[in-house]
Amino acid sequence: MTALTALLRRREAGIALALLVVIGVTTAIQPGFLLSSGGWRDLLLTPAILVVLAVGQAVVVITRNVDLSVGSMLGLTAYLAGRLFIDVPDLPIVVVALVAVAAGAVLGLVNGSIVAFARVPALVITLGTLYVYRGVALTWAGSDRIDAGDMPRAFLALGTRQVLGVPVLTIVAAVVLAVVAYYMYTSRGGRQLYAIGSDPDAAELQGLPVRRRLLGAFALNGALAGLAGVMFAARYGTVSSGAGVGLELQVVGAVVVGGVAIFGGSGTVVGAALGAMLLLTINRALPVVGIPDFWQRAVVGALIIGAIALDRVLARRRSHRLAAERDTDQPGGAGPADREEATP
Amino acid sequence: MQNAAPTLRLEGVAKSFGPVAALRSGTLVVQPGSIHALVGENGAGKSTLVKIVGGVHRRDAGVVELDGEPVDFTGPAEAKAAGVAVIHQEPASFPDLTVAENIYLGREPLGRFRRIDRRAMRAGARELFRDLGVDLDPDRPAEGLSIADQQIVEIAKAISLDARLLVMDEPTAALSAVEVRRLFAVARGLRDAGRAVVFISHRLDEVADLCDTVTVMRDGEHVSTDPVAGVTADELVRRMVGRAVSDLYPKVPSTPGEVVLRVEGLQSTGTFHDVSFEVRAGEIVGLAGLVGAGRSEIARAVFGVDRYDAGRVAVDGRTLRPGDPTAAIAAGLALVPEDRRLEGLVTESSVARNVSAVSRRRLARLGILLPDAEARLARDWSGRLAVKAGALDAVATTMSGGNQQKVVLAKWLATGPKVLIVDEPTRGIDVGTKAEVHRLLSTLAAEGLAVLMISSELPEVLGMADRVLVVREGRIVAALDRADATPETVMRAATPGASSERGDAA
């Protein structure tokens, strides 16, 4: 198998292809979708926030966990960033961003601690903190809303500015993706995250630092939710207590569509990022092609179910193939004898 | 050498799990530059001892010393760091990672910027496999590896740790003769380099071939330690068993009747192939074989829990619908599963609830369960099986393994089955209760029940079964009558490559 066919057979290639088809078809119907300056910008800018969230979520899902509180973490950190601009007017933008990221990491760490130490399923814990974090935001913000006028112009400009035709927020998302993907593939810690998701009991038996890794995964996810909060504030210019409501479902959907197995152990953050881009691009493409509102949601739903079904089919086919290989390897009792001859 | 501190010294180590004492008094002294055999029946406490040395369990009492220093590992990582490598009985691999990643997990060779050096990792794995003389692709995923290959991966992992103490818990059970020989060569190399090796095996010929010292354990206690040269295999067996076999396996004679269960050409890709056998009324048929040979999978398919690709299962001549346990129960099949906590019991429920679990439809009027009927049923069967529970509303978790197993048996017997399939009926049960379970099975067979018994304990199979079917790698490779079934004939049939090669290797 050459490197090219290996690349093409990867799950990510399929998603990238689907993305290209969606863009291609929509552009054929409505050239402005891609070929106008606004179309190009929207194509790159719209998925930026979801990509950052999907990358963080993918790391958590790979460990056979999930963090449903990302929407609430985003809302809370976005409001925190806005509040800082109002209350401490001279604070540099970088410091505000760092504070929001750190706050997100702490929120994620709370989730991770409960999951790692109390051994309660992440689904339940983070469903709880989803409401708790949202409740904190509601109490803190009340009916208050932070508007574009409250935030520095330089900060808001980040939401729309482009460098060499690429929006700044997209660059941020791309850098996050590259760094995390590099870590997951090339570091010991990254491979251990896969191992933990693949078989948590075996990971304990092997003496892997399971708790520390889980804490790290949740903290990273929280930090990225914090970064996404800052990006949200810059992009939309208004933050209320309801920022990011319901976003968690989109994030988990993107991760699943991107080929990260919900039972952990397999998939890549690149796939999750592509899944996020595919979901949002389809969302924007459907009205352009003239598909009614109701069907737009149905298509997204079908996409998620289709992705999961595809995963099951592929997994079953693979295990069947591996099992069949074993059968042909060792036809009954003659197997070991064959192997003896095969070894030099 | 005897003057230096031993590499490993255990004295009076004890460990209990709830009410079951797995290890009462483990004592083991392993010198550097030696290969030390640890033998004993299943349930003698060998694996528990190994898990304490490997940091998986913490001891309740006793002394553990490495090179004279007392140690108390709180986790496997600490044991590893102290230079203890353990190959556990059940291979624990990560199916989604590649073979090479499995071997080097957590200590991958690093290149620049602390980046995993995949090339070095692959080369290292290849070299390990070459030393072991096996042909495994380091880049393939661990998913779908045979038990033997998984065991090879575990061995490669342990060897690559370069530990001062290597503990192998039945490493040869699934290996072919050539692989065993290579493994022995590696073990001897480690010994000559001054490392200590602990080797657990049921095969006394291997012990005689490889080891210099042998320690016998029985019922969680140390029995004896001798130089291998100074003790015969017969003497070892006598010490391991330590009691008359007839006490443990009270076999009631019975005459087999009509064929009740007939299985023809059952097949499931990658699991088992062309499985055909029959069980007669009043007969106990033992299904022997190595762990992972596919015995439990066959039982699950017969019962309809798992689907199969080809073949048929018939009870009293009527073919059962595949993959339909409800139909199987209605036809008179009952399955007492391998893992009673996971599959056999609702552990949070009462004894009465558990006993009546499968018979509930029969106990109900118009869909409403009659509590009196439930209590009566539970009382009848608990009494008959001598379940020791404070009350019928006692929760199953509070009971010992033996009593839990009786509750599971009661549940299935209450359905009035014609065929009873029992999977490892006495695993994790103390010796006294074991004999009770055996007596019960024997009596039931004498009353005309057809029994299919899966067991990894050879003495149990030989002591209980009227006929023994041996499963190897998913196929029935031998059918032996009670008279012909000896430990040698069964083990030879069960072990891959044994008939031609194993004898020479010893």
Shortest distance between the Cα of B378 and any Cα of chain A, in A, equals 35
Inter-chain CB proximity A207 and B472 less than 8 Å: no
Residue in B closest to A327 by C-alpha: B270
Q: Which of residues 192-211 of A touch B (CB under 8 A)?
A: 192, 194-195, 197-199, 201-209
Calculate how close chain B gets to A184, using CA atoms only, in Å.
Answer: 11
Q: Which residue has the tokens 């197997």?
A: A335
Side chain identity, residue B232: T
Section B179-195 average pLDDT: 85
Alpha-helix runs per DSSP H in B242-324: 245-248, 295-303
Task: Say whether residue B177 is in contact with chain A using an 8 A CB cutoff.
Answer: yes
Asked if residue A80 has pLDDT above 80, the reply is: yes
Nearest to B6 by CA among B213, B231, B220: B213
On the 0-12 / 13-18 / 19+ scale of CB atoms within 10 A, B407 is buried
Domains with residue ranges and CATH for chain B: 8-93+145-243 (3.40.50.300), 277-332+418-435+450-506 (3.40.50.300), 343-416 (no CATH)
B115: nearest Cα among A195, A188, A268, A179: A188
CB-based contact B97 A333, cutoff 8 Å = no
CA B391, distance to chain mean position in Å, is 32
Interchain CB distance below 8 Å, A202 and B94: yes
When mean pLDDT is compared across B165-169, B273-277, B291-295, the lowest value belongs to B291-295
| Consecutive H or E run containing A77 | helix A70-87
Mutate to test the interface with A, among B90, B97, B183 (most CBs of A within 10 A): B97
Q: Which of residues 315-334 of A touch B (CB under 8 A)?
A: 318-327, 329-330, 332-333
Distance CA B154, CA B452 (A): 33
pLDDT > 70? residue B506? no
Is residue A340 scored above 70 in pLDDT?
A: no
Interface with B, mutate which of A205, A311, A314 (most B CBs under 10 A):
A205
The least confident of A176-190, B230-244, B307-321, B452-466 is B230-244
B79 close contact with A: CB closer than 8 A = yes
Contact residues for B299 (Cβ-Cβ < 8 A; gap 6+): B287, B335, B421, B423, B452, B454
* Cross-chain residue pair A322–B134, CB shorter than 8 Å: no
Block residue for tokens 């003659």: A334
How many beta-carbon contacts under 8 Å exist across A and B?
A: 131
The domain spans of chain A are: 32-292
CB-CB contact of B9 with B60 (8 Å): no
CB pair distance less than 8 Å for B105 and A318: no
Strands in chain A per DSSP E: 162-163, 166-167
Query: Does residue B2 surpass a pLDDT of 60?
Result: no
User: Per-residue pLDDT tens for A97-113?
Assistant: 999 999 999 999 999 99
pLDDT at A106: 97
Q: Which residues from chain B sit within 8 angstroms of residue A321, using beta carbons?
A: 144
Contact B116 A329 (CB under 8 A): no
From the CA of A3, how many Å to the nearest CA of chain B?
A: 14
Please give the CATH number for the structural domain made up of A32-292: 1.10.3470
Across residues B135-160, what is the average pLDDT? Answer: 83
Which residues of chain B have a CB within 8 Å of the CB of A207? 55, 75-80, 106
Distance from CA of A218 to the nearest CA of B (A): 20
A34-75 pLDDT, tens digit per residue, is: 888 888 888 999 999 999 999 999 999 999 999 999 999 999
Label residue B366 left, alpha or beta by phi (over 0 means left) and psi (-120 to 50 means alpha): left
Q: Which of A49, A48, A42, A50 is nearest to A23 (CA)?
A: A42
| Strand ranges across the sheet with B84-87 | B69-70, B61-66, B8-17, B20-30, B221-227, B213-218, B34-39, B196-200, B165-169, B84-87
Interface test with chain A among B101, B104, B105, by most A beta carbons within 10 Å: B105
Q: How far apart are CA B131 and CA A231, in angstroms?
A: 55
Other C-beta atoms closer than 10 Å to the C-beta of B277 total 18
Identify the pLDDT of residue B122.
93
Q: Is 50 exceeded by the pLDDT of residue B37?
A: yes
Question: With 0-12 CB in 10 A as exposed, 13-18 as middle and 19+ as buried, what is B11?
Answer: middle
Average pLDDT of the segment spanning A297-319: 81
- Pick the range with the lowest mean pLDDT from A7-21, B327-341, B484-498: B484-498
Q: What is the overall mean pLDDT for chain B? A: 82
